[in-house]
Amino acid sequence: MIADSLVRQFKTIVGDDNAWTDATDLHTYSYDAAVVDPVQPGLIVRPTTSEALGKTVRLCNNNALPLTVRGAGTNLSGGTVPLPGGVVIVTNGMKAILEINEADMYAVVQPGVVTAKLAAAVEAKGLFYPPDPGSQAVSTIGGNVAENAGGLRGLKYGVTRDYVMGVSFFDVEGNLVKSGSRTVKCATGYNLTGLMVGSEGTLGVFAEIILKLIPLPAHRKAMMAVFESLERASETVAAIIADRIVPATLEFLDNFTIRAVEDFSKAGLPKDAAAMLLVELDGHAAQVEEDAARVEALCRSMGATSVRVAQDAAERDRVWAARRAALSALAQLKPTLVLEDATVPRSRLPEMVVAIQRIAKRYDLTIGTFGHAGDGNLHPTILTDKRNHAEWERVEKAIDDIFDEALKMGGTLSGEHGTGLAKCRYLEKETSAGTILFSSRLKRALDPKNILNPGKIIAAKA
Ligand SMILES: Cc1cc2nc3c(=O)[nH]c(=O)nc-3n(C[C@H](O)[C@H](O)[C@H](O)COP(=O)(O)OP(=O)(O)OC[C@H]3O[C@@H](n4cnc5c(N)ncnc54)[C@H](O)[C@@H]3O)c2cc1C
């Protein structure tokens, strides 16, 4: 519990209406989208200016109060689960798009800007901000940068990291640190931007972010390829890439996911298909048409039973909206949904799909699989009920096995959801004891009192 006198100091910084301690509010901010036990904070603070944000961080540090920054709380790794009695800093009071520079193709934003709002604002000017996590309608740029979020377009356009030109952030003492610039190139000082992207609120708090924009592609074409065999669908993904075609998006859905999504969204997906691929190509019209014809031919030669090209933008948008609803659709089926994002080199995707099926059978679990197959990033999704202890034990074993399989194939524990609380205990498995030591020393040097989102990325000592 935070003393009233200290709460009053926070209120002096952010205003009486922007600091809360009621039980309901504390409960609301005790969890996020990950399957991690909730933890009740002691105070919620909502700064509305950069100055107030810096002062809030400083006050936390002066009082050794652990703080967790929260954008929309959609992360899937427990990154915004606070410490008991700690402070949650919400960024939805800092949601201004400060600049969209058309001549130099960049945007400057506050951390609380919603991803889809930025994408729409730049699109209105003929520009493109490609990172598009499935949560983009609510997720924030601060959260995307702190998680190095990916999305459906990662295959062709990369992830958030590839668009961050610079960041301004508050260190733990509330000093404003600036890194990067509005220029295409910048070799001044340490690459602190690189360090901060994906740091999950453990090294500093973003106040402003400079993002690269690119020209909006002139033409887009989407298609849906239906398969009677899961293996053939995943082999087709590898075949498309091997044929040197780089679609903007190449998504995979297994039968379980297709049925769940169709029941949820009524988008006209084929419920009896073993698997389907959703492909979108973009770029110059002539190139798109040529690549689309090659993808269609490849799908058919690999055994697709049908390939439907979206006839207009409405049909295309309907299918993508359905795909984006996959997680929500699956979440309705059981009380607990564990969404993993183990990622493998894309040529190993067919093996990984088979391995996941094997693991589901081994532990008698329901695992739906969908994901950004084109970049090897699958989302095996385990449907369960955490209250069923016996089943939950099997779920934990299945997760271990999924990670082991991914690592054996030269993959990674997380393609895009971050480490947070959920995966920190596995970190050494993928990296090394030296990596943990180096990371711990870095953290200690930059945050000696360990107040910046403690326990995320580097596991808290038992
Ligand atoms: C339905 C659904 C679909 C999803 N699809 C995808 C997907 O396709 N790709 C993908 O990568 N992820 C996806 N996610 C996960 C999630 O949306 C992303 O991790 C996203 O980047 C989180 O944004 P947020 O604003 O919700 O951040 P939060 O969850 O609020 O925070 C995430 C992390 O960022 C830190 N943070 C937030 N703001 C700041 C700041 N100003 N300074 C420092 N640290 C900060 C937090 O402390 C936390 O560690 C999905 C989640 C859901 C629920």
- Strands 97-101 and 87-90 come out as unpaired
CATH number of 4-90: 3.30.43.10
Ranges for all domains in the chain classified under CATH 3.30.70.3450: 219-328
37 within 8 A of 79, measured Cβ to Cβ = no
> pTM for the full model?
0.96
Check pocket membership of 129 for ligand 1, CB cut-off 6 A: no
Which CATH architecture group holds 219-328? 2-Layer Sandwich (3.30)
Check pocket membership of 143 for ligand 1, CB cut-off 6 A: yes
Angle at 138 between CA 457 and CA 15, to 5 degrees: 85
pLDDT digits (tens, 9 = 90+) for 386-423: 999 999 999 999 999 999 999 999 999 999 999 999 99
| Collapsed DSSP state (helix, strand, coil) of residue 457 | coil
Ranges for all domains in the chain classified under CATH 3.30.43.10: 4-90
Indicate the pLDDT class of residue 462, thresholds 50, 70 and 90. low
Check pocket membership of 399 for ligand 1, CB cut-off 6 A: no
Fill in the DSSP letter of residue 140: B
pLDDT at 224: 94
pLDDT at 284 over 90: yes
Ranges for all domains in the chain classified under CATH 3.30.465.10: 97-215
Specify the ligand 1 atom closest to the Cα of 32: 29
Indicate the pLDDT class of residue 318, thresholds 50, 70 and 90. confident
Give CA 93 to chain center in angstroms: 21
Pairwise CA distance, residues 233 & 451, whole Å: 47
The protein residue with its alpha carbon nearest to ligand 1, atom 21, reads 144
pLDDT at 138: 97
Contacts of 211 (CB under 8 A, 6+ apart): 106, 107, 108, 109, 118, 129, 141, 163, 164, 165
Specify the ligand 1 atom closest to the Cα of 149: 11
Pairwise CA distance, residues 130 & 285, whole Å: 19
% of the chain residues with pLDDT over 90: 91
The protein residue with its alpha carbon nearest to ligand 1, atom 31, reads 143
Amino acid letter, 165: M
> Ligand 1: distance of its center to the CA of 73 in Å?
6
Higher pLDDT, 211 or 325: 211
Q: Which is nearest to 222 in space by CA: 151, 127, 296?
A: 296
Check pocket membership of 450 for ligand 1, CB cut-off 6 A: no
97-215: CATH topology is 3.30.465
> Ligand 1: distance of its center to the CA of 32 in Å?
10
Indicate the pLDDT class of residue 147, thresholds 50, 70 and 90. very high
How many CB atoms are located within 10 Å of the residue 85 CB? 15
pLDDT at 320: 87
